[in-house]
Amino acid sequence: MESDRLNQAEKIDEVGSEVASHEKNRDIAEKNTDKLAFPLNGNGNTDSVAEPAVFELKNLSVNFGRPILDKLTANVRGNCIGLLGPNGAGKTTLLNTLLGFNQPSSGRASIFGYDVSSQSDRVRHMVGYMPERDAFITGMTGIRFVRLMGELSGLSPSDALERAHEVFFYVGLGEARYRKIDSYSLGMKQLVKLAQAIVHGPKLLFLDEPTNGLDPPARTRMLQLIREIRDAGETKIIMASHLLKDVEECCDEALVLKQGKIAIYCNLEEERRSDRKFLLMHVRGDKDRFVSALRSLGCDVALTNRRRLKVILAQQIEIRDVYMAAEQLQVQIRSLDYKRDSLEDIFLRAMEDA
Amino acid sequence: MAIFQHAYQGFHGQISSTLRQPWVIFRYALADVFSSKLFTAFFALCFIPPLVMMCMVYMNYNLEMLSLLNLPLDKLITVDANFFAHWMQIPQMWLVFALVMFVGPALISPDISSNALPLYLSRPINKTNYVFGKLLVLLILGSLITWIPAWLLILFHANLGDEPWLLNNLHIPLASVVSSLIWIICLSMLSLAVSAWVKWKALARLFFFGFVWLSSALGAAIENIYGGWKGSTVSFIDSLDVMVSGLYGVNSSSSMPSTASYLFFITVTVLATLLLARKIRAFEVNL
């Protein structure tokens, strides 16, 4: 045991931050590749699994004068998929491309095995879309608006009217359905956007920042509705958001984008189940060398600010090893706290690694 | 699912074909148009000129009424191609202009300004179906006040006369349909394109009015300066007169050839279509 520790101490002295970071990147890349690379048959369906992927990206690039999405490859499954990333990462562009609003400059994208460019008609029969910005037809009552959207999705006038009433009651706006949308509050408008997106019972629901501008009770209500739709099992959900908490509460998979590339794709449930030892530390001293030392021990480290570190300990590493590394490098650990790994940590790591 | 069961369920009913979608857009747009009492009154007034024409045709064949009203027989209007072209067709065409100016900009600009296009275009409906659904409103309303009453009047006149007037003048109903459709489609596409461009109903109406009348003023100015018929090639008023006169086979006030008037309407329609294709999209890309 003592000799092991000495070996580890030697490793710390030999630390090369570049090497450690390369190793870590490779590990993450391998982990992601395992998830992303599914063999495709002619229909875009996977051979290995009967149910087709919710969406597949094969070297998908989108350019608007400059590259917005850069050769994305992913095979995404799950009931509710969170699309995360900082502003300008390409979340909305990816949603728009999947909806067929953008034409890919190269590569392809498919939804449930149907190509979004060449089979857009079939794709649009299956999807519902709740845009980020306000999107209504002025002067219409809520019920008439949602009924129109139902009819445009292919429902007969009577079915569309019935469904419009149902979804209005479902989202909690039953009493306001005969009012003009212009008179609705922001929270009600968000709910109407959700109502029009689900009126035709889509197989796949795109939600672009669904809790934007909502107060806490309205946000809670919106997230509850999203979870209910997910749990009903008839509709898969893709939810783009920059609010990690929202994604964490609703989604079982997360695809993190950064600068038009996939930074990480992970199953949140697996991440939660992995139950990794997770430390939150405040340190003083040569932080960079300390981080390199921890990484050389096999720990994942995310820097949240100048002195705060989040460390996921490797299997064989104890807290004592962390203290030893700090002692050797004369770094003070001012505070140390156990915490459960959150989506925020996954996101921060992805932002650092990508 | 009953409305008191507040749980989410998918839809398991029948989904119709995408061919029905333009019809849905047409139905809703038409209902919106007739929700304006002002427009409904205007539309009703558009039928008065054809009714007056019908009375004039009727009086032409009713000597008893003429003598009762003490009207001289030599002052009667001759019901021929000239009557249909200049008394019926051209005035109704300008009513179409007013109708398109009132209705056209209200069809697309609210959808664009309130960001509704992503909602339409994320459904099984494409840009062509969307524009066609909106165009259908103008096409049907325009037809109801131009060639459809003209045809009724032609049939009425043919029915009252003894000789086989209709057989000898088959070009008149044909001219009525062709000239009406060219005018309605051209103006409708122009108004839709302008409203997609400026995105504001009131401004779109002003622009549309300006396009039609300023082009005609420009044409008149060119004619005054350079003479000849070249000015007429940019004038809606002259092009309409030349097209209608050419199709009905009557004299026109302009010496411009009919082909130039067709070319003018085709050019305006194509340019408007290109502008629409550019402006009707789910979102604007800011580079």
pLDDT at B163: 72
CA distance A283 to A331: 7
The H or E element spanning position A10 is helix A2-13
Three-class SS state of B200: coil
Nearest CA-CA partner of A208 in A134, A264, A152, A143 = A134
Q: Does residue A18 carry a pLDDT above 50?
A: no
Upper half-sphere CA count for residue A332 (Cβ side, 13 Å): 5
Mean pLDDT value across residues B84-101: 95
pLDDT at A37: 32
Cβ proximity of B186 and B268 under 8 Å: yes
Chains A, B: CB pairs < 8 Å = 122
Interface check for B84 against chain A (CB to CB < 8 A): the answer is no
pLDDT at A276: 63
Cβ proximity of B211 and B190 under 8 Å: yes
Contact residues, chain A, for B16 at CB < 8 Å: 154-156
pLDDT at A272: 67
Q: Does residue A46 carry a pLDDT above 60?
A: no
Mean pLDDT value across residues A197-226: 93
Which residue shows structure tokens 């997106």? A197
Work out the pLDDT band at B260, boundaries 50, 70, 90: very high
Which residues are bridge partners to A208 per DSSP? A240
Of the candidates A137, A172, A235, the beta carbon closest to that of B110 is on A137
| DSSP, residue by residue, A110-144 | EETTEETTTTHHHHHHHEEEE-SS----TT-BHHH
Contact residues, chain B, for A200 at CB < 8 Å: 11, 15
Tokens of A260: 């038009």
Three-class SS state of A203: coil
Interface check for B259 against chain A (CB to CB < 8 A): the answer is no
From chain B residues 15-54, the ones with a CB under 8 A of any chain A CB are: 15-18, 20-21, 24-25, 28, 32
Q: Does residue A36 carry a pLDDT above 50?
A: no
Q: CB count, 10 Å around CB of B38?
A: 8
* Bridge pairing between strands A114-115 and A106-111: antiparallel
Q: Tell me the C-alpha to C-alpha distance, in Å, between residue B132 and each of B21, B23, B47, B107.
A: 10, 9, 26, 11
Question: Which chain B residue is nearest to residue A120, measuring alpha carbons?
Answer: B124
pLDDT tens, A59-83? 999 998 888 899 999 999 999 999 9
pLDDT at A87: 83
Mean pLDDT value across residues A170-178: 90
CA distance B143 to B184: 8
Work out the pLDDT band at A342, boundaries 50, 70, 90: low
Which residues are bridge partners to A338 per DSSP? A279
Taking an 8 Å cut-off on Cβ atoms, the answer to whether A234 and B10 are in contact is: yes
pLDDT at A266: 85
CA distance B279 to B136: 19
Q: Does residue B17 carry a pLDDT above 50?
A: yes
Any residues with CB less than 8 A from the CB of A205 and at least 6 apart, and which? A127, A128, A129, A130, A197, A198, A229, A235, A236, A237, A238
pLDDT at B13: 87
Mean pLDDT of chain A: 82
pLDDT at B155: 93
Domains defined along chain A, listed by start: 2-29+274-353 (3.30.70), 55-271 (3.40.50.300)
* Greatest distance between any 2 Cα atoms in chain A: 78
Work out the pLDDT band at A139, boundaries 50, 70, 90: confident
Q: Does residue A354 carry a pLDDT above 80?
A: no
Taking an 8 Å cut-off on Cβ atoms, the answer to whether A125 and B124 are in contact is: yes
pLDDT tens, A259-282? 889 988 888 877 766 656 678 888
pLDDT tens, A305-331? 777 888 887 777 888 888 999 999 999
The H or E element spanning position B266 is helix B258-279
Taking an 8 Å cut-off on Cβ atoms, the answer to whether B7 and A125 are in contact is: no
Of all residues in chain A, the percent with pLDDT exceeding 90 is 43
CA angle A292, A296, A298 (to 5 degrees): 120
pLDDT at A275: 57
Nearest CA-CA partner of A12 in A313, A325, A331, A322 = A325
CA distance A353 to chain B (A): 28
Mean pLDDT value across residues B1-30: 82
Interface check for A163 against chain B (CB to CB < 8 A): the answer is yes
Higher pLDDT, A218 or A338: A218
Contact residues, chain A, for B7 at CB < 8 Å: 170, 228, 232
Contact residues, chain B, for A174 at CB < 8 Å: 3
Taking an 8 Å cut-off on Cβ atoms, the answer to whether B283 and A101 are in contact is: yes
Taking an 8 Å cut-off on Cβ atoms, the answer to whether A137 and B3 are in contact is: no
All structural domains of chain B with their residue ranges = 20-279
End-to-end C-alpha distance for chain A, whole angstroms: 36
Of the candidates A131, A148, A170, the beta carbon closest to that of B8 is on A170
Query: Which 8-state DSSP code applies to residue A99?
Result: T
Low-confidence winner among A40-49, A226-235, B128-137 (lowest mean pLDDT): A40-49
Three-class SS state of A57: strand
Contact residues, chain B, for A232 at CB < 8 Å: 7-10
Any residues with CB less than 8 A from the CB of B204 and at least 6 apart, and which? B104, B105, B109, B191, B194, B195, B197, B198
pLDDT at A81: 94
Any residues with CB less than 8 A from the CB of A82 and at least 6 apart, and which? A239, A240, A241, A246, A247, A248, A250, A251, A253, A254, A255, A268, A343
Work out the pLDDT band at A55, boundaries 50, 70, 90: very high
pLDDT tens, A198-209? 999 999 999 999
- ipTM value, please give it: 0.88
pLDDT tens, B44-67? 999 999 999 999 888 888 878 877
Of the candidates B7, B16, B28, the beta carbon closest to that of A154 is on B16
Query: Which 8-state DSSP code applies to residue A16?
Result: -
Taking an 8 Å cut-off on Cβ atoms, the answer to whether B11 and A200 are in contact is: yes
Of the candidates B10, B110, B287, the beta carbon closest to that of A235 is on B10
Of the candidates B6, B18, B282, the beta carbon closest to that of A101 is on B282
pLDDT at A12: 43
Any residues with CB less than 8 A from the CB of B88 and at least 6 apart, and which? B49, B50, B53, B149, B150, B153
Interface check for B114 against chain A (CB to CB < 8 A): the answer is yes
Tokens of B86: 């200049």
Which residues are bridge partners to B209 per DSSP? none
CA distance A87 to A265: 18
Contact residues, chain A, for B125 at CB < 8 Å: 124, 152
Work out whether the CA dihedral B114, B119, B122, B125 comes out positive or negative.
Answer: negative
pLDDT at A32: 40
Q: Which of A68, A96, A152, A189 is best to mutate for the B interface (most B CBs within 10 A)?
A: A152
Stated pTM of the model: 0.79
Nearest CA-CA partner of B205 in B277, B129, B110, B139 = B110
Q: Does residue A31 carry a pLDDT above 60?
A: no
Interface check for B171 against chain A (CB to CB < 8 A): the answer is no
Interface check for A136 against chain B (CB to CB < 8 A): the answer is yes
Any residues with CB less than 8 A from the CB of A139 and at least 6 apart, and which? A180, A182, B32, B110
Work out the pLDDT band at A286, boundaries 50, 70, 90: confident
Low-confidence winner among B108-112, B159-163, B231-235 (lowest mean pLDDT): B159-163
Question: Which chain B residue is nearest to residue A174, measuring alpha carbons?
Answer: B3
pLDDT at A277: 65
Q: Residue B84: is it exposed, middle or buried by C-beta count within 10 angstroms (0-12/13-18/19+)?
A: buried
CA angle B199, B205, B206 (to 5 degrees): 105
Cβ proximity of A322 and A313 under 8 Å: yes
Taking an 8 Å cut-off on Cβ atoms, the answer to whether B115 and A170 are in contact is: no
Of the candidates A156, A170, A234, the beta carbon closest to that of B6 is on A170
Contact residues, chain B, for A64 at CB < 8 Å: 285, 287
CA distance B266 to chain A (A): 30
Taking an 8 Å cut-off on Cβ atoms, the answer to whether B6 and A138 are in contact is: no
Interface check for B247 against chain A (CB to CB < 8 A): the answer is no
If phi > 0 it is left, if psi is from -120 to 50 it is alpha, else beta; for residue A113 that is left
Pairs from A305-309 (Cβ < 8 Å, separation ≥ 24): A307/A282, A307/A283, A307/A334, A308/A280, A308/A281, A308/A282, A309/A279, A309/A280, A309/A281, A309/A282, A309/A283
Q: Does residue A335 carry a pLDDT above 50?
A: yes
Q: Residue A167: is it exposed, middle or buried by C-beta count within 10 angstroms (0-12/13-18/19+)?
A: buried
Interface check for B108 against chain A (CB to CB < 8 A): the answer is no
Q: Which of B36, B123, B201, B287 is best to mutate for the A interface (most A CBs within 10 A)?
A: B123
Work out the pLDDT band at A353, boundaries 50, 70, 90: low
Q: Does residue B41 carry a pLDDT above 50?
A: yes
CA distance A303 to A352: 8
Three-class SS state of A333: strand
